[in-house]
């Protein structure tokens, strides 16, 4: 029992250090804070839609939930702002390789080297999500409808994203 309390304490210290480091860089396209000051395992993040993409202008809220054994296991990330994207489930959960547990992929879609590794930080996660927004992966879709539109009817896809960006802007203003 003491080992897991110790591991949780180490994870807590690491997360607080990563939060401090993350917020030093104000030009990153994202910001983060704790949902509750007494719980370093739940973060609120705000991502700016990447410039020169159809997500530009949007400010998207998301939640990062870290396991007690972080950094050995990945957090989960879920958009709280409505998001239309092939790699975001309809309930907002983000589906990218680095957020999948370490090791071999049972479905054999991803290499072990593409999945979670303890070398990743919150910053590398958020940079990967921003990259995902700019370049969807429709071959490993979480939202099949969005992936099909992105591929087959890009004008319809872009209109839905513009609507999501507009709603995200309205949420802030």
pTM of the model: 0.90
Which residues lie closer than 8 Å to 27 by C-beta, 6 or more apart?
none
Q: Domain of 123: which CATH number? A: 3.10.110.10
Strands of the sheet with 39-48, listed across from one edge: 30-36, 39-48, 59-65, 76-79
Query: How far is the first Cα of the chain from the last one, in angstroms, to the nearest whole number?
Result: 47
pLDDT of residue 2: 44
Helix (H) or strand (E) holding 42: strand 39-48
Domain that holds residue 46: 2-172
pLDDT bucket at 173, cuts 50 / 70 / 90: low
Q: List residues with catalytic annotation.
A: 95
Share of the chain above pLDDT 70, in %: 98
Q: What is the pLDDT of residues 60-117, one digit of tens each?
A: 999 999 999 999 999 999 999 999 999 999 999 999 999 999 988 777 778 888 889 9
Count of domains observed in the chain:
1
Average pLDDT, the chain: 91
1 pLDDT higher than 50: no
- CA 154 – CA 144 distance, rounded (Å): 14
């Amino acid at each position: 029992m003491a080992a897991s309390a110790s591991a949780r304490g180490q994870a807590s210290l690491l997360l607080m250090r990563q939060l401090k480091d993350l917020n030093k860089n104000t030009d990153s396209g994202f910001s983060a804070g704790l949902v509750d000051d007494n719980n370093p395992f739940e973060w609120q993040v705000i991502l700016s839609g990447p410039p020169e993409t159809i997500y530009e202008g949007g400010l998207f809220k998301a939640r990062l939930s870290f396991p007690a054994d972080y950094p050995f296991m990945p957090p989960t990330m879920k958009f709280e702002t409505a998001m239309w994207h092939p790699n975001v489930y309809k309930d907002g959960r983000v589906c990218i390789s680095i957020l999948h547990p370490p090791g071999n992929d049972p479905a054999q879609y991803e290499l072990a080297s593409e999945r979670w590794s303890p070398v990743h930080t919150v910053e590398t996660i958020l940079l990967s999500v921003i990259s995902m927004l700019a370049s969807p992966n429709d071959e490993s879709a979480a939202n099949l409808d969005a992936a099909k539109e992105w591929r087959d009817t890009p004008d319809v896809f872009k209109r839905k994203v513009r609507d999501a960006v507009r709603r995200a802007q309205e949420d802030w203003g």
